A and B are shown apart, each in its own frame.
Chain A
């Protein structure tokens, strides 16, 4: 039997802001970090930046 204990790290965005991870193309207001995750991959963005990114992701990509 193996017992593993680690600290659960949770990032919460300030009010009216969001957390953004460019590599994962992910936006969230609350993030539960993996046990070895690098929290510096998450940066805080504004509502306007969120809307701009989501609009960018909504663009239909070119066919392969």
Chain B
């Protein structure tokens, strides 16, 4: 389904409206729930990507939504545009889990977590990230989430050095070993 959940289309059904079942043919879900903060207040959603290999943009998909969490099912490895995807979720947004985010094809992650200040738990697929990304607004990342982010950084030796931007608070929690791992992969830590 594009824009509607399975149960909405079928007039009932057994799949919750909180499950976003992505149609296999879907290409753009840009701004799909942007500003739906009333409808999605404090909801825990599942983004079910199983069966879809054609989606290329979730730009602004959950921009200003007041959601609580997103569980990813399947792979986001083919998505190119993550621009502002989870931006401006000030109030409740704490978690991205399940299979996690795979940035293997990402060309734009600008502002993806900007102002999502309560984000604490995030899972990113190992070695999938090769472009600069910022978590500058998120002071509450757990140590497990920080480890997941570091593991997600692809070794960029021999290529231009992307930048991982963390909040001052989170950066202060990094060990010398973690900083050395980041810079040894030719990533710059800001």
Contact = CB atoms under 8 A, between A and B. Distances in A.
Task: Bin the interface of chain A by size.
Answer: 20 to 34
Majority DSSP secondary structure for residues of A touching B: loop
Contacts of B111: 57, 61
Given A25-B134, A26-B134, A34 B185 contact: yes
Contacts of B183: 8, 32-35
Task: Bin the interface of chain B by size.
Answer: 35 or more
A4 interface: yes
Given A21-B163, A24-B163, A64 B31 contact: yes
Contacts of B59: 64
Interface string A41-56: 0000000000000000
B132 A24 contact: yes
B84 A35 contact: no
B30 A64 contact: yes
A1 interface: no
Majority DSSP secondary structure for residues of B touching A: loop
A25 B113 CA distance: 13
B41 interface: no
B162 interface: yes
B180 A31 contact: no
Given A24-B163, A57-B111, A31 B28 contact: no
Given A8-B183, A64-B60, A32 B165 contact: no
A8 to B, nearest CB: 6
Interface stretch (B94-102, B142-150, B153-161): B153-161
9 contacts: A6-B184, A21-B188, A24-B190, A28-B165, A28-B168, A31-B189, A33-B183, A34-B185, A34-B186
